[in-house]
Structure 1
């Protein structure tokens, strides 16, 4: 242990479920479990609700999911943007905060993500299978060697710079997607650039002359992922990507397999994926080579449109398919191939496709570049975090 570090019980180092005074039956910022993204440092309130119970917290507190499988999936975030600095949320949060003159709240966040701390919490869950939780009192039983507060702040600053870059890339991507969607609508829905040209009647309505009407099914090849038996999920091999991975990323619960699948069921960075059951959405894959599970289409160009145009086209029309699935939902809403065949679009002529491609391709490429950079940054952060917090790597100004 470095000379000026000390050994603490975790419950002595951080304030767990600190007192926050809220008034009953008044409304406050609200954070629910699904708001937490295991890949991001910060979480922001998704709602404003009347207080009727739940975990209470203030800005910069760490929300630590204490229930399975959210804990195993890494749902741990630092809360921001609470109105009047306070809020409440799920009863399944433990709230962590730095102690005055002992611990820094940013460092506390990274400490709570440290693999040893997470593994300790997971191994100390109690309760019935499927509803196991870690209790606040469990953290009285873990001891850690930790740095003084000035070194804590420096460590947190290094790791926060990486997280800030990750979140900045995502903010840029949000703007780029909004721009691309507006451009798509202007060209393909409103026919804005062609209003001075000649239009013709079609089963889709009036469309620019030279364009054609095609079904969503006819503009691409939709390859459903493979079915994997439990016996085909092993410790080695490629990751098997299910809808949970599209929503929450690859976690330690993500299965692997060596199963031989069709080449079209192998995905890589830049693959456009269409989840058609339970969670209907369009995703741009960015986590390297993997195997695609059933209930997700790998969308492949068939010569009609480029992958870049297909991505934004499907993002534009997914709301239509969501409404179909909602009408059909019993336990799990979904759509069928017939719905793709029954949904029609106006498809531009060759010259107009090429013009739009020149506009949209750089946007698509920048979005993908930002996503893949985030994967590199995430790996860097996750490599540095345990080394800095354990003292295996020291910042220059604190070396002895």
Structure 2
């Protein structure tokens, strides 16, 4: 089966910058909690959204900004620093108000392309190799909007897009579940280590008398 290869500028999508105007939030306006989640590079990873370290802006600041507000179904791609991380604003995301920062783009699909299909293509190794070949900026890698729009994707018919998106989304959901399980086990292991070897909880908060703290090079050779 063969598909047409088309440039992103030729398909039914809107590509939206974040607001870069005078009302762009300063560091002292970013809060630990608030009305609108203001995305940072930490939130958009190779595996989609991660909300472990969040920053927010007030409703007043949100209303002062123009471009960059997410709608459900939108795709986000990072375009500065760590370039090419992709996430989709699905119904499972637990925040109703989200804005991108100035180092990201929003991709909003029209009715001729499946947003989950496009999401899977944009996060593929095939597409990332294109990013590596055209990203600009020697000090800090960048993917300008104009360069992004010149990149290409395979474009099957809508029915095939739905099928591809369905299969890959199912696999992705299983990976997400397994990742969450692994992260939970890692957190348990770290908590157990801290309890035993930092807080000494099993010993009343005191290191046992027959334990020692010694330099690592007394126990092994470095080769």
- Length-normalised TM-score, structure 1: 0.41
CA distance in 1, matches of 2:191, 2:156: 50
Structure (1 or 2) with the greater strand fraction: 1
TM-aligned CA distance change 1:120 to 1:220, over 3 Å = same
CA distance in 2, matches of 1:137, 1:159: 28
SS in 1 for 2:139: coil
2:42 and 2:50 in contact (8 A); partners too? no
Question: Cα deviations across residues 169-220 of structure 1 (Å, max 9, x unaligned)?
Answer: 221123223333444455553544x67xxxxxxxxx8555xx5231163595
Is 1:70 aligned with 2:82? yes
Aligned residue for 1:95?
106
1:9 and 1:140 in contact (8 A); partners too? yes
TM-aligned CA distance change 1:145 to 1:165, over 3 Å = closer
CA distance in 1, matches of 2:158, 2:150: 22
2:168 equivalent among 154, 159, 172? 159
TM-aligned CA distance change 1:147 to 1:129, over 3 Å = same
RMSD over aligned Cα, in angstroms? Answer: 3.7
CA distance in 1, matches of 2:154, 2:186: 45
Is 1:215 aligned with 2:213? yes
Aligned residue for 1:41?
48
CA distance in 2, matches of 1:64, 1:131: 16
Quote the offset at 1:150 in angstroms: 2.5
Structure 2: 5+ residue runs without aligned partners? Answer: 26-33
CA distance in 1, matches of 2:214, 2:100: 41
What is the aligned residue count?
200
Aligned residue for 1:117?
127
Question: Cα deviations across residues 113-151 of structure 1 (Å, max 9, x unaligned)?
Answer: 24453344444445x532453332334434544112232
Is 1:180 aligned with 2:189? yes
TM-aligned CA distance change 1:216 to 1:34, over 3 Å = farther
Higher relative contact order (CA 8 A, sep 6+): 2
- Length-normalised TM-score, structure 2: 0.68
TM-aligned CA distance change 1:10 to 1:64, over 3 Å = same
Q: Which moved more, 1:106-115 or 1:75-84?
A: 75-84
CA distance in 2, matches of 1:70, 1:184: 32
Equivalent residues in 2 for 1:1-400, closer than 5 Å: 2=2, 8-11=6-9, 12-17=11-16, 27-38=35-46, 40-44=47-51, 46-50=54-58, 51=62, 55-67=68-80, 69-71=81-83, 74-79=84-89, 81=93, 83-84=95-96, 86-100=97-111, 102-126=112-136, 129-131=138-140, 133-184=142-193, 187=196, 189-192=199-202, 206=206, 211-215=209-213, 217=215, 221=220, 223=222, 262=223
CA distance in 2, matches of 1:139, 1:185: 46
